[in-house]
Structure 1
Amino acid sequence: MNTLGSDTTAQPRTSTPLGRIAAALAVIFATWAAIKLYKILVPPRNLRKYPKAGTWTLIRTLAKRMGYLEQHEVLFEAMRDNALERGIIKSRDETPPVYLTWFFGRWLVVVVNPDDMKLVLTKHDVFEKLPFDVGHTTKFIGQNVAVVQTPEWKRQRKVVNPAFRRGWATSLFGLPARQLIKHLDVVATQGAIMDPAGWMQRMTLDALSLAAFGTNVDSLNHPDAPIVETYNTLMVEILDISKLMNPFYKWSKDGRRALALIEAFDQFIFGLIDAKTANIAARKVEAQVADGGEDDEARDLLEMMVEAAEGTDFSREELRANTIVFFVAGHDTTANALTFAIYLLGMHQAVQDRARQEVIDVMGDMDRGTPADAMPFPTADQERRMTYLSCCIKEVMRLFPSLTIVPQRFTTTAVTLDDGTTLPRDTLVTGDIYSLHRAREVWGPDADVFKPDRFLDSVGHDGQIPMHPAAANFGWTPFGGGQRICLGQQFSLVEQRVVLAMLLLRYTWTVVGDENALKGKPASMPGNLLHAKGIQVRLERR
């Protein structure tokens, strides 16, 4: 019973020491999370002067799984809008020489000018390769000469370089191209429309397997063969960046499937390595072939690497990794380059006719009744004399470089860019090859125009077009540059000249169908490797 006038209001409970500690920890955690989120979403103070596309804009393009060309257009225009608003550029025709982009919670400095591109590509001790271990990428490509950091690269290149830096027999490409032509003759006869991407992918896979292993997987005639299907499925999975953004990818259904595919492909590769090693050992014991007695141009890459690795600490796993990176990079990039060459030559008949006439002048014309199996292919001397065709190839790779960005680097020490900005140690840096190749500041007002003649004034005394980045003051870098330039560059260029020469002798073609492709904007697959999609070509036999 309450006494009249007594205070019945409940008194506040005194917080306990444990409650005060929990509250303090909550505040600390919230502050820490806010700081982390701020650092993720806001660039470092010393880089804020550079334009950027919004983080959420980038995330939306990835979520929509846009093709590279579509995604680049959205992001680059958003970055240009930001640059215009801030007075960094004065018109949309200008390309900011440096911009920022967001990458998995970190900010990258992206250079789009020749001077800084040269710096990034040639100062490999300052701009060190950044390990890229997303999903099962590292398990697939391994620790090879293309991705390892400088100290390890110096060790591996002693074994790998001799196998790459040699001539390549044109038969490595001419023989698979004959098989391609056998199939394309049917397409042309039927008046059917073809997508060159699939055909180039299969042909280059056959040529690459022949050059790398001495074994043609024959995907042109057997596209459903188990190893071909395994490899093609694996490549689609590994390159799908939208899937790799999932932090639980390795444990997902897709991740487990990718792992099984890698293990199956490894069995194939290790089987080839072991067979090659045993074969070389047996030959030496029997003294059937003296060391160095074969023509290097006719020997496959794996054989040369196995021999170069003898007496060194180069492991079986490193042989696998360096064979696979050549297999992936050498096949996929060249297939893309050939696809875009067919596309651009089909869009520009006068250029196609001029390139064809040069091939005829060098090789001679062929009889229309020549069977595919007897189709002539250029000799090494002939393919080197195709100056205008080389201009076409160089211009194709300017407009549609197979690798659109420089693999990411991080600075090992403070370094100063061309505009005077000092980047501190551990800054992430890359180069935008695609945008640099189309910058009006570098290539003039016709930078977006397919114009092979722009390279004719660079013909050397030997009649050849220089294909190294210094020839264009590092404004043309589809193969990278510096000491770590793509080892497969010559392989790719020889293959492109041989295959295009044969196609030009055999066919005329035009681009049809897709309206965007006819306007110069073909569709593409997601990812920084530029894959054309849905190009339609009509072939006619000459």
Structure 2
Amino acid sequence: MAFILVVEIVAISLFASYFLKFYQSYNKARHIGFPLVFSPFHPWGLFWMLGGAFLGPLLLRLPFGLGEFVNHIKSDGYYLTRNALHQKHGPAFIVVSPGCIRIVVGDGAAVEEILTKLHKEFPKSELYQGLKVFGNNLETAEGDDWRRHRKLTVPPFNERNSNIVWRASLTQARGMLKTWVSAGKSGIICTASDMMTVALHVLTSACFGRDYSFQPSESSDSTIIKGEKLSFKVALEAVLDSFLGVVISSAFPKSSGLLAKYVSKKIDTMKFTVAEFKRNLREMVDEERAFLKTTSKEKNNLMSALVRACDLEVTKGDGKRSLTEEELYGNLFIFTFAGHDTTANALMYATALLAANKHVQSWIKEEIHTVIGKNLDSESWEYEKLFPRLKRCLAVMYETTRMYGPVVVLPKSTGSTPSTITIRGKEYTLPAHSDVMLNMVSVHHAPEFWGPDPWSFRPERWIIKNGVAGTEELLQPPYGSYVPWATGARVCPGKKFSQVEFVAVIASLFQRHGVQPVPQPGETIEIASKELSEAIEGSECVLTLKMRHPEKARLAWEADA
């Protein structure tokens, strides 16, 4: 009886705590003025994190829309529902759950306002702390600390570096295209992984001064054997491919008990991979320091610039501030992490979209042949002369990132004091210490900016024809309609880097070749294109938006007639 009584007391206490937290969240949210949506589960709670993948699909089947809350707390809910939730609840609403309120903002002007306001008003969400696994960096820093990081890390992203990116991208594209064409009419299913390889090699060249030839993903040997030294490339690939595992492994100093029984092997492997990545970085940094001591010549890559910033002498009163050793490694990693996955995804989506839309291929080929010609080998392409003129190729990137940008929801928060935003002429006060989720899907698909077909792939919407001069110009999107690289002071410093890489790869692939989906037996190209479009739509989000089944994008490349 005593045991039963204890159980009952514990159960009552837990329920009382649950409903108290729910009421506190409701009381915090109800005065703001936005519609309220209720969720019985905390979106970052252990229960939902462990069981959400299984429970979510079941709860969504509940009648009368009782399971709609699932779309508000699952990582890709706002992508899967398109703009339906904002059409129902308005440009902003609040998800109320026990111990948490999430203010979801889908109004483009309000999103830009939040992104351009001072850091203390809308600081980074605590979710970003996981990006400190290798050290504090530009992405995790705030306030004066962020300004110091920005000043020291941005200079390498200049025109000289863009030229390196251009050359490296063309080299990788040539190797990749040769492999793809050799597959013949049977096509390839490794577009996603090969684009990851290209993006990785461009980053290692432009950021670390390490050049690698393109190797097809099927033949790359990246098996991790604990105890063996890993090359920089293998260690970096492993860390990038399993970033969540890296964060989790860093949270466990030692595997023991049940953890040891079930997951210690994976945790230990990730710890080994992280250690090897750090070892490689230390060796490269030591080499760079030795180089800088023997010559006054500067390498124009990220690592060289950060090593110089780390070794700055801090003199009182002169305003100079250096990076710590930990911040050096943190920034080297974060620029690689942020630039790799995003650009590779954009290239993957764009290639698949172009395969499914033959007329857009013809449209960009027209520009490539006008600007570059059909016969000029890419070894001779000059960045300064060609990149600014390939506007249609860049328009393909803009349209791809508008529709399938890597970030579905950008997490922010309010600071230690209330913050204000204006939505459609009305000012709202958001309580301190509240989660603010910027719905990028809603922003990038708003009909008031993008017309009646915001879900259609139409890169030509980005091109404005100058009737007098007979030239084409890129559309400058209206305020609050397009922010894939963020905006304001915290705009992504690698924006130009990614654009140069994308344009170089696309122009090189489509100068003399075309791509199409491979039909199944008895299918037409039209049916295969429709199925490819459906595979593209079937995307999901873990950290970034990706195709759920990239292997369904079987693509065949052939030389133009």
Query: TM above 0.5, one fold?
Result: yes
- Equivalent position of 1:450 in the other structure: 457
Partners of 1:420 and 1:103 lie apart in 2 by: 24
1:120-167 per-position Cα deviation (integer Å, ceiling 9, x unaligned): 100033111123267x64314x31112211221012222112122444
- Residues 169 and 504, structure 2, Cα contact 8 Å, conserved in 1: no
Shift of 1:505: 0.8
Is 2:273 the counterpart of 1:269?
A: no
> What amino acid is the match of 1:237?
S
Shift of 1:185: 2.3
Partners of 1:459 and 1:158 lie apart in 2 by: 38
Is 2:533 the counterpart of 1:518?
A: yes
Seen in structure 2, the aligned counterparts of structure 1 residues 391 and 342 have a Cα distance that, compared at 3 Å, is same
SS in 2 for 1:325: helix
Partners of 2:98 and 2:284 lie apart in 1 by: 37
Partners of 1:104 and 1:145 lie apart in 2 by: 32
Is 2:220 the counterpart of 1:223?
A: yes
Is 2:438 the counterpart of 1:431?
A: yes
2:373 to 364, 369, 373: 364
1:197 to 192, 199, 204: 192
SS in 2 for 1:212: helix
1:392-430 per-position Cα deviation (integer Å, ceiling 9, x unaligned): 211111011122222433334323331433112222112
1:35 to 20, 32, 36: 20
Partners of 2:253 and 2:439 lie apart in 1 by: 28
- Equivalent position of 2:161 in the other structure: 168
Shift of 1:503: 0.6
Seen in structure 2, the aligned counterparts of structure 1 residues 83 and 348 have a Cα distance that, compared at 3 Å, is closer
Is 2:85 the counterpart of 1:98?
A: no
Seen in structure 2, the aligned counterparts of structure 1 residues 409 and 516 have a Cα distance that, compared at 3 Å, is farther
1:238 to 239, 243, 259: 243
2:343 to 325, 328, 334: 334
- Residues 212 and 300, structure 1, Cα contact 8 Å, conserved in 2: yes
1:506 to 492, 504, 512: 512
Is 2:499 the counterpart of 1:493?
A: yes
CA RMSD for the aligned pairs? Answer: 4.0
Seen in structure 2, the aligned counterparts of structure 1 residues 102 and 170 have a Cα distance that, compared at 3 Å, is farther
- Equivalent position of 2:307 in the other structure: 306
> What amino acid is the match of 1:302?
M
TM-score by length of structure 1 reads 0.78
- Residues 356 and 532, structure 2, Cα contact 8 Å, conserved in 1: no
- Equivalent position of 2:270 in the other structure: 258
TM-score by length of structure 2 reads 0.76
> What amino acid is the match of 1:539?
W
- Equivalent position of 1:355 in the other structure: 364
Seen in structure 2, the aligned counterparts of structure 1 residues 338 and 45 have a Cα distance that, compared at 3 Å, is same
Is 2:348 the counterpart of 1:344?
A: no
Partners of 2:40 and 2:9 lie apart in 1 by: 32
Partners of 2:372 and 2:515 lie apart in 1 by: 20
Partners of 2:508 and 2:98 lie apart in 1 by: 44
Shift of 1:454: 1.6
Seen in structure 2, the aligned counterparts of structure 1 residues 51 and 355 have a Cα distance that, compared at 3 Å, is farther
- Residues 368 and 511, structure 2, Cα contact 8 Å, conserved in 1: yes
Shift of 1:518: 2.8
- Equivalent position of 2:207 in the other structure: 212
SS in 2 for 1:163: coil
> What amino acid is the match of 1:345?
L
Q: Which runs of 5+ in 1 are unaligned?
A: 1-14, 89-95
- Residues 169 and 380, structure 1, Cα contact 8 Å, conserved in 2: no
Seen in structure 2, the aligned counterparts of structure 1 residues 255 and 21 have a Cα distance that, compared at 3 Å, is closer
- Residues 516 and 557, structure 2, Cα contact 8 Å, conserved in 1: yes
- Residues 177 and 203, structure 1, Cα contact 8 Å, conserved in 2: no
- Residues 273 and 320, structure 1, Cα contact 8 Å, conserved in 2: no
> What amino acid is the match of 1:441?
E
- Equivalent position of 1:117 in the other structure: 111
Partners of 1:100 and 1:299 lie apart in 2 by: 46
Is 2:171 the counterpart of 1:178?
A: yes
> What amino acid is the match of 1:306?
V
- Residues 516 and 522, structure 1, Cα contact 8 Å, conserved in 2: no
> What amino acid is the match of 1:301?
L
Is 2:131 the counterpart of 1:130?
A: no
Seen in structure 2, the aligned counterparts of structure 1 residues 64 and 353 have a Cα distance that, compared at 3 Å, is farther
- Residues 507 and 539, structure 1, Cα contact 8 Å, conserved in 2: yes
Partners of 2:15 and 2:244 lie apart in 1 by: 36
- Of residues 53-62 and 105-114 in structure 1, the stretch that sits farther from structure 2 once superposed is 53-62
1:159 to 152, 163, 167: 152
Q: Which runs of 5+ in 2 are unaligned?
A: 58-70, 223-229, 314-320, 520-527
Seen in structure 2, the aligned counterparts of structure 1 residues 28 and 39 have a Cα distance that, compared at 3 Å, is same
Seen in structure 2, the aligned counterparts of structure 1 residues 325 and 478 have a Cα distance that, compared at 3 Å, is same
Shift of 1:323: 1.1
2:295 to 283, 299, 307: 283
- Equivalent position of 1:46 in the other structure: 31
> What amino acid is the match of 1:189?
S
Seen in structure 2, the aligned counterparts of structure 1 residues 525 and 193 have a Cα distance that, compared at 3 Å, is farther
Partners of 1:204 and 1:76 lie apart in 2 by: 27
Seen in structure 2, the aligned counterparts of structure 1 residues 508 and 132 have a Cα distance that, compared at 3 Å, is same
Seen in structure 2, the aligned counterparts of structure 1 residues 337 and 79 have a Cα distance that, compared at 3 Å, is closer
Partners of 1:31 and 1:345 lie apart in 2 by: 56
- Residues 405 and 431, structure 1, Cα contact 8 Å, conserved in 2: yes
- Residues 179 and 220, structure 1, Cα contact 8 Å, conserved in 2: no
Partners of 1:54 and 1:212 lie apart in 2 by: 44
Partners of 1:383 and 1:318 lie apart in 2 by: 33
- Residues 236 and 277, structure 2, Cα contact 8 Å, conserved in 1: yes
> What amino acid is the match of 2:498?
S
> What amino acid is the match of 2:123?
E
1:460-510 per-position Cα deviation (integer Å, ceiling 9, x unaligned): 99965367xxx4212101101110111110100011111111011131011
2:331 to 322, 328, 335: 322
1:410 to 414, 421, 424: 414
Bigger Rg, structure 1 or 2: 1
SS in 1 for 2:31: helix
Partners of 1:337 and 1:104 lie apart in 2 by: 37
Seen in structure 2, the aligned counterparts of structure 1 residues 282 and 133 have a Cα distance that, compared at 3 Å, is same
Is 2:541 the counterpart of 1:540?
A: no
- Equivalent position of 2:226 in the other structure: none
Work out the percentage of aligned pairs sharing the same amino acid. Answer: 21
Seen in structure 2, the aligned counterparts of structure 1 residues 48 and 189 have a Cα distance that, compared at 3 Å, is same
Shift of 1:82: 9.4
Partners of 1:260 and 1:108 lie apart in 2 by: 37
> What amino acid is the match of 1:383?
F
Seen in structure 2, the aligned counterparts of structure 1 residues 319 and 188 have a Cα distance that, compared at 3 Å, is same
